[in-house]
Structure formats: C-alpha cells, structure tokens
Structure 1
Amino acid sequence: MAENQARIFFGEELRRMREKAKLTGKELADALGCTPQWISTMESGRKVSEQSAKDLDTYFKTDGHFYRLWKHANKVEVQITLPPGFTEYAEREKKASAIRVFSALLVNGMFQNKQYASAVLGAERASGTDELVEQRLERQAVFLRDPPPFAWFALDETVLHRMVGGSEVMKTQLAFLLELSERPNIMINVVPQNVGYHAGLGGSFTILGFDGSDVAYSESAGVGTLIEQPDKVAGFALRWDLLRGHALPVAESRALIRTVLESL
C-alpha cells in the first residue's frame, strides 16, 4: 500500500511544534496523558488518532490545525485503500441501466447494510472505517435513480451462512436483503449449496449494462480490474448465465434467506 503522505505531514507538523515549544517527547506525552511511544508513532507518520489531534490543538492552541490535518489524512487513507481500478468502476456504476452481480464469498458492497459493511471494513483496517462505510452505503443511491437500473444479485448460499460480525449483524444484513428483494427493480437469487461446483466459484464479479454495451469488473488480491474488451466481457456474461442456471428462483431464494434469518 502507498504511504499516506498527509499522515506523514501530520507527524512533521507535530515534531515542528514540539521542538518549537522546546519539549521532549516525554514532556509532551505527560502533558497529553499518553506514552512517549505514541508521540513517536505519530511523529513518524505511522498512526494518528482523532482524539490526539484534538488534544494537540487544545495544548498548542492551534485552532483546529491538527484536527484538520487528521481529517485530511483520513480521507487520503480511504483513497489509497480502495483497490486500483475501483474508482473508475464506481463512476460507471452510477450510470448503468442494468447491474448483474455475483458474490461467492461475501455480500457485495452494493447490497450491504451499515452493520455488515462496518464489520467487513473494520476487520481490514485500523482507522478510517466510518468514512469508507459511508462511501459504500452512498453507492446504493443508484437504486433510487429515476429511472432506476435493473439489478440482479446472485450469491452462493455459503454467503448467507458466513458469520460476518456475529449473529446480530447477520440478522440485520439478511433482513436488508429481504427488504431489497421486495423492490421491483432488484432481483436476488441464491445458488444453493447442494449444487456443488458451479461457474460462479471462480470468483465474484459484476457486469454493468449500458445502451448497446457492457463492461465487467472483478477484484482479486486487492486489485480491481475493469474489463471492456467485448470478448472478455462475453466470457463473464457466459459465467453469469451458467451460474444463474443453478440458482433458485426469486421467491424460493427469498424463502431460503428468511429460513437462514430465522435460524440465527
């Protein structure tokens, strides 16, 4: 992952202010009620925290300077965390007339609720989770567009049983899927476990439809790839058709989701 230059600048500013005040790291730590190691960590640009930024502004009387630096560093952290290729995909997603999504391991980000998204993103990073969650939830605004896109969400049944964040989080997420499935423009299909191997197990992917053309998107090992070559997009469309052939119809999928929800 790229270095967060904004966080490094925060550390440089902290060191500059500390030295200007002729304070040792221990003296500043004592004044703030933290450890000298934490001061060193912040000055090196490895980590910063919202509370420490506020404490530094109070101590040095800097009128929100450190807090503003912390907010900027947090935004930069969010941007460098996103998989390469995702930003361009997200812009296309807003304009698609049809969205076909298959999830092999987790509920796709477009269909996650806040609790589930927080559990997923919080497990991957130490800071900046709230902003990433908000960005993820904002993507669902596309469903409220006029006219809204038609969306098909297919998922392997194992996704329903994977305990992301615990049973309470899963209850809210499955209830959210049921709510989404009631919308006339969103269809959710589950590929049952008893199918065994199917074309979707090669990995999750998305196909965006536009007037006269499609693009595909997939992620692997933290790298996102936007696919526009017609022959390669056609390959993803074939995988979609094959896995959908094994999926339960909408009503049966809804019943299965409700059964799993009631078992939690």
Structure 2
Amino acid sequence: MSENQARIFFGTELRRMREKAGLTGRQLADALGCTPQWISTMESGRKVSEQSAHDLDTYFKTDGIFHRLWKLANDVELQTSLPPGFPEYAERENKASSIRIFSALLVNGLFQNEEYARAILGSDRVTSVDELVEKRLARQAVLLRDPPPFVCFTLDETVLHRMVGGRGVMKGQLKFLLELGERRNIMLNVVPQQLGYHAGLGGSFTILGFDGAALAYSESAGVGTLIERPDKVTGFALRWEMVRGNALPIKESQAVIRTALESL
C-alpha cells in the first residue's frame, strides 16, 4: 500500500491527542470499544475508518476534526487509485455529445454493473473499493442525461468469455449489457472471435465527440492518456472505423451475447 500523507497525519494527530490526554493505547481502545492493535494501526497511518473517526471526535470533543482528516485521506486514496489522466477524461466524458468505445480485454467501466466493477477494483487491493465502485457506477448517469449522448460500444467477443468474478458475476454483467443495448441512444456491437487479428487488438480506447471537436483516451499499464491533437485523434477515429467494419450488426451481436450468457 502506498503512503498516504493525509492518513499518516491522521495517525500523528491521534497519537498526539492520546498522549496529551495521558492515555495508553489500551486505555483508549477500551474507551472506544476496539482493540489496542487497531489504535496502533491508525496511529501508524496504515489504515483508518470513518466510524473510528466519528468515535474519536466524540471522545476527544474535537468538533469533527478527525472525520475531516478521514475524508481528506479517503479522497487522496481515491485519486491515487485512479489511472493518471482519468480524472481529466471523466470530466470531459460527462459533457460529450457522442461516445465511441472499443474494449479489447474487459467491459468498459461505463458499461460495468456493480458486481463486475467490484471484482475488478477489488483485485487491485485498494482500501477504498466501495468508493471507487460508487464513482464508477455514478458515471452511468451520463447515459441517462437529457439529451443523452449517442454511444457506440464495440467489444471483442473474448471479453464476453473472460471469467471475471465467477459465473454469477458474468451472468449479471452480460444481462446488464443486453439491457443497456435496448436503449435508443446506445449501439452495441461485438467483433467475432473467429476473426483473428484485427485493428482493435492494439488496445482499448474511447473517442469523445463534442460540437465541432473530438478527443481520444486510452489506458495502458495503469496510465491513462488524454489525446487532443487533431492528427492523433484522427488516427484513433480511423482505427475505430476499421474495428467497426469488422463488428457484427446489432441483432447478431445481441445473439452472441445471449449465447455467451446461456453457456455460463
């Protein structure tokens, strides 16, 4: 786990308050109804919890200071858990009039249900999984915006068969894809597995369209890249057209997803 300076400061303040009150770790633990080990864990800056922050504010009568420190530490954790470049992308995504997505390995975050997202984010062993899942699901509000963006989501068929989180999770995710595909502003297409190599296998990417402008976004090795240079965006647009040219029509794509669902 990387060092979170806000969390470390929380621990430093806790130790200072405890020593100022003349308490041992065990005495404070008894007062809060937790273990001395948990007090030590918080003071070392390894981990904190919202409930403990509230308990400390109540016990030391600190008017919410510990909870504010917990909130700051949690916000820092969320930011460091996101790929560099993604916060800027997410801000633009919310304003786009069109969204073109190609997924080569996993279902794109905008189309993930809660269980699928949790299986992916939980595997990274971050301490803020609940908050990350909540933020990921909140992105789907853009699909319901009035007027909604026009969304083209194309994915490689192997994504449908990659077992993420177990059979139950995959069943729920594939059903969710079919449900989203019924929306009038969403076009869902699958590139068939038997095609072999195609232009999309170089990696997943997204193209956001605005009035008279566009930008692209791609992720690799945990680093997100926002591309705004017109010539680079044009390159992604051409790649998109090549991928889409190999994708199945909507009805056939839905049939492929249903077949994958029935095989689970």
- TM-score, with normalisation over the residues of structure 1? 0.91
RMSD: 2.1
Which residue is 1:127 aligned to? 127
Partners in 2 of 1:231 and 1:126 — Cα distance? 37
Aligned partner of residue 207 in structure 2, secondary structure: strand
Aligned partner of residue 124 in structure 1, secondary structure: coil
Q: Does 1:163 align with 2:163?
A: yes
Shift of 1:90: 1.2
Cα deviation digits, residues 119-163 of structure 1 (max 9, x gap): 211221332122211211121111122221111111111111112
Q: Does 1:193 align with 2:193?
A: yes
Aligned partner of residue 163 in structure 1, secondary structure: coil
Partners in 2 of 1:143 and 1:126 — Cα distance? 27
Cα deviation digits, residues 67-115 of structure 1 (max 9, x gap): 3432332122112222221121112111211110011111101111112
Identity of aligned residues (%): 78
Partners in 2 of 1:184 and 1:33 — Cα distance? 54
Which residue is 2:152 aligned to? 152
| Matched positions, count | 264
Partners in 2 of 1:198 and 1:44 — Cα distance? 50
Q: Mind listing any 5+ residue stretches in structure 1 that lack a counterpart?
A: none
Partners in 2 of 1:202 and 1:26 — Cα distance? 56
Which residue is 2:82 aligned to? 82
- TM-score, with normalisation over the residues of structure 2? 0.91
Regions of 4+ moved over 6 Å: none
Partners in 1 of 2:182 and 2:38 — Cα distance? 50
Pairwise mapping of residues 172-183 of structure 1 onto structure 2 (< 5 A)? 172-183=172-183
Partners in 1 of 2:68 and 2:136 — Cα distance? 23
Aligned partner of residue 10 in structure 2, secondary structure: helix
Q: Does 1:216 align with 2:213?
A: no
Which residue is 1:109 aligned to? 109
Which residue is 1:253 aligned to? 253
Contact 2:7 2:70 in 1 (8 A): yes
Q: Mind listing any 5+ residue stretches in structure 2 that lack a counterpart?
A: none
Partners in 2 of 1:77 and 1:193 — Cα distance? 38
Partners in 1 of 2:49 and 2:130 — Cα distance? 13
Q: Does 1:92 align with 2:92?
A: yes
Partners in 2 of 1:171 and 1:60 — Cα distance? 49
Aligned partner of residue 146 in structure 1, secondary structure: coil
Partners in 2 of 1:259 and 1:240 — Cα distance? 25
Which residue is 2:243 aligned to? 243
Shift of 1:39: 2.9
Shift of 1:215: 0.6
Shift of 1:260: 1.2
Partners in 1 of 2:37 and 2:260 — Cα distance? 47
Shift of 1:44: 2.2
